[in-house]
Amino acid sequence: MTEPSFAVLVVAYGAPLSLDEVEPYLLDVRGGRPTPAHVVEEMRARYAAIGGRSPLLGHTREQASALGRRLGDGTPVFVGMRHWRPFIKDVLAEAAARGVRRIVALAMAPHFSRMSIGAYQKKIEEARGPIEVALVSQWFDHPKFLDAVAGRVRQALDRFPAERRDQVTVLFTAHSLPERILKEGDPYPAQLAASVAGVMTRLPTQPHEFAFQSAGQSPEPWLGPDAGQALERLAATGRRDVLICPIGFVADHLEVLYDVDIEFHRRAAELGMRLERTASLNADPTLIGALADLVQHAARERGWHP
């Protein structure tokens, strides 16, 4: 077998692997600024509630392994994290030491924002050394991604009684960002809207809405509508069955397992609603097919792949 002409770097946000790692992880997220003690304790409590650690790294490694198998040609697939181990800079150094000179970098976030994908790009550029990097910056409209999300929605709708299924409101959610990105012309909200529209072409009769979740604690305004407030409004209008689809996330992590599965479920119960959530894509084969398409297309554009 001929030597692969490029490698792949799968990148994700990063998360602590134990309660002891929460504080140093937050220190990295905050760019070295100390985190107030009450915030550290609150975050520790949240991670404790989901088992004492985040499963994000494990899921990202499963996605990377599945991607390598799907590519099927021996292409090395590395995993790097933006804010925790294994750090992107360390993984790129390892790749360079192994003789890698070309990498397709793929963020496990379909929607571009300068605050998210732009930050990955900066980390990669700072650390790439002799490696030429082709970054896949967005994939919000890839048909296989949309197919995978629609499939998860259909599976989750089956949990509701058949006679009420067509009245279940699908509430799509994504991580909120500061409102100031709108003034900068950031495409993030428009890409989310396009993803929702793409999924709904596959589920044309299902009621649906979109809202943001997991806004930060800074005093500046964050993008809305807020998902918690959306639940309250739906309850006020008599809607009792809601299915949350966190379309902005492709793997289980704190914002899904705590914010949705604990906080939103608690609020829904208080409102007398039945709330379900779509299963995260994680290493869903259809999603992995989309990732393989993206990698091969990026490599072809650079002339690295036939």
CB 210 within 8 Å of CB 191? no
Beta bridge pairs of residue 275: 242
Residue 2 resides in a domain? no
Co-location of 115 and 165 in the same domain: no
Looking at the structure, do residues 84 and 159 belong to the same domain, yes or no? Answer: no
User: Looking at the domain assignment, is residue 306 inside a domain?
Assistant: no
293 shares a domain with 208: no
Decide if 167 is inside a domain.
yes
The answer for residues whose C-beta is within 8 angstroms of residue 37's C-beta and 6 or more apart is: none
The range of the structural domain enclosing residue 258 comes to 143-277
The domain spanning residue 39 has which CATH number? 3.40.50.1400
| 19 in any annotated domain | yes
163 and 112 share a domain? no
Residue 225 maps to a domain: yes
234 and 124 in a common domain = no
Tens-binned pLDDT, residue by residue, of the chain (306 aa): 567 899 999 999 999 999 999 999 999 999 999 999 999 999 999 999 999 999 999 999 999 999 999 999 999 999 999 999 999 999 999 999 999 999 999 999 999 999 999 999 999 999 999 999 999 999 999 999 999 999 999 999 999 999 999 999 999 999 999 999 999 999 999 999 999 999 999 999 999 999 999 999 889 999 999 999 999 999 999 999 999 999 999 999 999 999 999 999 999 999 999 999 999 999 999 999 999 999 999 999 999 988
Co-location of 52 and 39 in the same domain: yes
Q: In the chain, how many domains are there?
A: 2
On whether both 127 and 253 belong to a single domain, the answer is: no
Please answer whether residues 76 and 4 qualify as being in contact, where contact means their C-beta atoms are separated by less than 8 angstroms. Answer: yes
Same domain? For 260 and 294 the reply is: no
Q: Are residues 46 and 135 in the same domain?
A: yes
Residues 232, 120 share a domain: no
* Residue 1 covered by a domain: no
pTM of the predicted model as reported, rounded to 2 decimal places? 0.97
Q: Is residue 90 domain-shared with residue 124, that is, in the same domain?
A: yes
In this structure, the answer to whether residues 266 and 199 fall within a common structural domain is yes
Q: Is 70 left (phi over 0), alpha (psi -120 to 50) or beta?
A: alpha
Q: Which residues contact 160 (CB under 8 A, 6 or more apart)?
A: 168, 241, 243, 274, 276
